[in-house]
Amino acid sequence: MESSTVFVLAAFNRLHKKMNVLYHDYAKSVGLSDAAFWLMYSLYECGQPCTQKSLCAAWFYAPQTINSALKNMEEQGFITLELAPKSRKNKQVFFTEAGKELVEKKIVPLVNAEERSFERLDEQERNQLLAITQKHIEILEEEISKIE
């Protein structure tokens, strides 16, 4: 591998890590674990009840991680879990009043900050960022699958 590629890849990985740290630090500052933060974020984003299964798929968390975070959030009074219609095991997640309040005070301001930051990129930059990131992930998945 060329040294310039190594340098650029290292810079890219540091930027990715910095992005993760931004979200981790924000979650911590509002008293949430990373998983709980992303679950609250996802539930807000859905705008409707979500199942545990759909949350796992959306955020690439293991079912055990989601289940544990949901149990903690339920114990804290932020959500309730109810069986999905016509299901014997799939549960839907609903915000309680305390959960709605937490989302309004802590998640919505972050979402607004994300939107403002994204809007500061022009439309072409936004589209390029998404397209290149998606392409890189697909190629990386392919390359990782080749590792023995």
Q: Is the pLDDT of residue 95 over 90?
A: yes
Q: Please tell me the predicted confidence (pLDDT) of residue 79.
A: 93
Instruction: Provide the whole-model pTM.
Output: 0.84
Q: Contacts from 104-107 at CB under 8 Å and sequence distance 24+? A: 106/30, 106/32, 106/40, 107/37, 107/40, 107/41, 107/44
Percent of the chain with pLDDT over 90: 64
Find the angle CA(9)-CA(21)-CA(125) to the nearest 5 degrees.
Answer: 55
pLDDT tens for each residue of 32-57: 988 889 989 999 998 878 888 888 88
35-145: what fold?
Arc Repressor Mutant, subunit A (1.10.10)
- Helix (H, G, I), strand (E, B), or coil: what is residue 95? strand
Measuring CA to CA, how many Å separate 24 from each of 38, 93, 98?
Answer: 10, 23, 22
Q: How far is CA 49 from each of CA 36, 59, 130, rounded to the nearest angstrom?
A: 16, 16, 27
DSSP state for residue 105 in the 8-state scheme: I
Question: Is residue 137 pLDDT above 70, yes or no?
Answer: yes
If one counts every other C-beta atom within 10 angstroms of the C-beta of residue 73, the result is 26
33-37, 59-63, 96-100: segment of lowest average pLDDT: 59-63
Domain boundaries, the chain: 35-145
Percent of the chain with pLDDT over 70: 98
Residue 98's pLDDT band (cuts 50, 70, 90): very high
